[in-house]
Structure 1
């Protein structure tokens, strides 16, 4: 049913959704569902309101038909309003629905989601009036993504939510300019995502300066500036990706500078381009997860470590806190990887997306007179994707088989057809009977593709110790 609150009937009050009554039980006695409903109805209004707020807006409105006990709960429950195809596929229908919801809802505002909405002229003014509605006072979560080209500005009235927002995801629009005075303050915002947004360098720095409690930041396919500096005492995770240049004069995100981030644990450049072309980390003493790093990043500076096109060229000190490294390797190139191992001597997990290149031999020998701390004491898990079983692949993997002394698991993401006979032959070629770690186990699996490393969806899920470990989340596991 397309109309949730605007449909009216003679048998119902004009401000209630028109929905069918639940069927009565055949014997006239209360069914099991009726008993369950009675038990649920005994819960306090606050709990029932929280439950209702988790439902899609149509289902939440339908609860008014359950019984007299539920009739007024939805109007006082926290508002969770998602304007999407589930609400209505027709623009002429969802506009009056949303307008009436905002005019009649009495409860606090929790979430407003406007996703994939065409910002045509008549809708632009309508959105502005929606954002000014008293029903959205105290809004905590805001999602907005426009789809019209060229992008239109985000209605400035959306910035009035700044004092109460905890989560904001904004994309497909031009971000309004922010004057330095008065400053835009977002004192409760913990999660910010800017996606396919045009924003000036001054505006993005003023925006970030006002986020005094920010914990996660995602900057994805942005235009309008070339460099951004991060200074935050609270940030724990950063995800960044770059956009293709639209024209020769188009400014795109090319440089990320982590100037001072004492709580930062994850820095994840993602996407096929692997993030900005230049990354500089001046102060991030708790950084533990780093990558996806690719050849698209021309220069990485980590304190006194300088890495140019995936090859370390200066190593005065090392990053001992980094435990998880995710990178691309052309070839795969063993010389490049070994150099990076010295940059991160305490690394425990290594993810490698191999880009096959036939001219690399990978015949490097491990110098026991110059041991690497990582191989001797720490490296426990290696995931090698795009494994084809060619000689460079075998020589590359064999280096770790023969030298990683505390290795627990090595997984091969195989991108060619394979069977038991093929795996038995690979085990022989890899010399698994000569493995350096007695406890090491080796698994050949179908390559999961680039998505998990390129477009990681768990960058900001801090409950996952390793956001790249697909075994920790059902949504990443193969069905």
Structure 2
């Protein structure tokens, strides 16, 4: 192991001497889930001061407490941390030493992620397949996107919880996937609850694209959806990742109690983003359940400027033509707020997460990954 560390340290010295600007440094290990098998990255990594783009995978990050205070990546703009073993204080140190960092991705992190975003440069943060205890946009004046995909909460398999706090993020445009059954959302000093009313202190008016992952037939989760939507009054594109109501990977075990009918949604009252701003609704992993249909009808009858509804099927659902007929039959009784709205039923499209599209800040909707599968994604 010591010889390997010396060799790795020598590599970084060579990279530094050559002024390498882009580096992907991934360790090949036989047992990627064995955290003890992850070798240490040498501190000579910080000698590569010319780096503008850095991706690290399957390493144990060096202990930053032993590094000189001058250690930094002054030109680094894009950082990917993939399946690293890393301490919270080392992550904080690293981010503090990247003064122009714009894009941060963390995938498969091998530690409890508590991410405090205090940056004048960060524009996009992506976190996936990691155990996240908290993401806190404390002071992020340029932050435009917080993209989460399968971020597991702390607290055990059946009772996961995680905190999402939004403090100062005036340019935040894209947020999700938020999970009402797992995420505790806090705006400023207010923890959002089902009964929370919209007020200047509980809204984030800059958000235009919002994605929620929710069990629409589970009362305790569905009850939080209106509260979440009230926090983002100017949302124009809404994604709903519909989860199986029998899915018990997060939230209270009693969560399935209660009935989610159309009247349930009607009791939510007026919601500004639905009535005035939502132009596109996408319901993914659609199975054709009554709870999904009721939610669709609730939106359709209130969204005055809704232009398009996309129903993306679950891979194990009925054939698309049968689901299409079922949806259209059910919606014949709906009094559409916008009679010109287009309704489409589409086959399963796979995961909605594409990290390259997420980092492409010229694309307004990072969750629209249809072109990624058609081979036309300009972000690739």
What TM-score does the superposition give when structure 2 sets the normalisation length? 0.81
CA-based RMSD: 3.0
Q: Quick check: 1:177 aligned with 2:63?
A: yes
Partner of 1:218: 105
Partner of 1:87: none
Partner of 2:312: 413
Contact 2:145–2:172 (CA under 8 A) maintained in structure 1 = yes
Deviations 1:11-41 (A, max 9, x none): xxxxxxxxxxxxxxxxxxxxxxxxxxxxxxx
**1 or 2 for the larger relative contact order (CA 8 Å, sep ≥6)?**
2
Partner of 1:90: none
1:352 to 240, 246, 250: 240
**Alpha-carbon distance between aligned partners in 2 of 1:398 and 1:239, rounded to the nearest angstrom:** 32
Structure with higher Rg: it is 1
Contact 2:207–2:234 (CA under 8 A) maintained in structure 1 = yes
Contact 1:381–1:408 (CA under 8 A) maintained in structure 2 = yes
Q: Could you say if the C-alpha distance between residues 382 and 336 of structure 1 is closer, same or farther in structure 2, counting changes exceeding 3 Å?
A: same
**Alpha-carbon distance between aligned partners in 1 of 2:140 and 2:352, rounded to the nearest angstrom:** 26
Contact 2:142–2:170 (CA under 8 A) maintained in structure 1 = yes
- Aligned to 2:82, the other structure's residue is in SS state strand
> Can you give the 5+ residue segments of structure 2 that lack an aligned partner in the other structure?
155-160, 246-255
Q: Quick check: 1:168 aligned with 2:54?
A: yes
- Aligned to 1:173, the other structure's residue is in SS state coil
Q: Quick check: 1:273 aligned with 2:152?
A: yes
Shift of 1:418: 2.5
Q: Quick check: 1:341 aligned with 2:229?
A: yes
Q: Greater shift after overlay, 258-267 or 141-150?
A: 141-150
1:303 to 182, 188, 192: 188
1:291 to 157, 161, 176: 176
Deviations 1:295-342 (A, max 9, x none): 56341212244236xx46575431111111111111345543222221
Q: Could you say if the C-alpha distance between residues 332 and 344 of structure 1 is closer, same or farther in structure 2, counting changes exceeding 3 Å?
A: farther
Contact 2:265–2:295 (CA under 8 A) maintained in structure 1 = no
Shift of 1:432: 6.7
**Alpha-carbon distance between aligned partners in 2 of 1:141 and 1:374, rounded to the nearest angstrom:** 41
Partner of 1:80: none
**Alpha-carbon distance between aligned partners in 2 of 1:462 and 1:206, rounded to the nearest angstrom:** 26
Partner of 2:293: 394
Contact 2:181–2:214 (CA under 8 A) maintained in structure 1 = no
> Can you give the 5+ residue segments of structure 1 that lack an aligned partner in the other structure?
1-119, 245-252
Contact 1:328–1:355 (CA under 8 A) maintained in structure 2 = yes
Partner of 1:133: 14
Q: Greater shift after overlay, 456-465 or 357-366?
A: 357-366
2:43 to 148, 152, 156: 156
Q: How many residues are paired up? A: 346
- Aligned to 1:188, the other structure's residue is in SS state coil
What TM-score does the superposition give when structure 1 sets the normalisation length? 0.65
**Alpha-carbon distance between aligned partners in 2 of 1:214 and 1:197, rounded to the nearest angstrom:** 19
Shift of 1:278: 1.5
**Alpha-carbon distance between aligned partners in 2 of 1:235 and 1:438, rounded to the nearest angstrom:** 41
Q: Could you say if the C-alpha distance between residues 388 and 188 of structure 1 is closer, same or farther in structure 2, counting changes exceeding 3 Å?
A: same
Contact 1:305–1:318 (CA under 8 A) maintained in structure 2 = no
Contact 2:119–2:140 (CA under 8 A) maintained in structure 1 = yes
**Alpha-carbon distance between aligned partners in 2 of 1:475 and 1:425, rounded to the nearest angstrom:** 28
Q: Could you say if the C-alpha distance between residues 472 and 144 of structure 1 is closer, same or farther in structure 2, counting changes exceeding 3 Å?
A: same
Shift of 1:393: 1.8
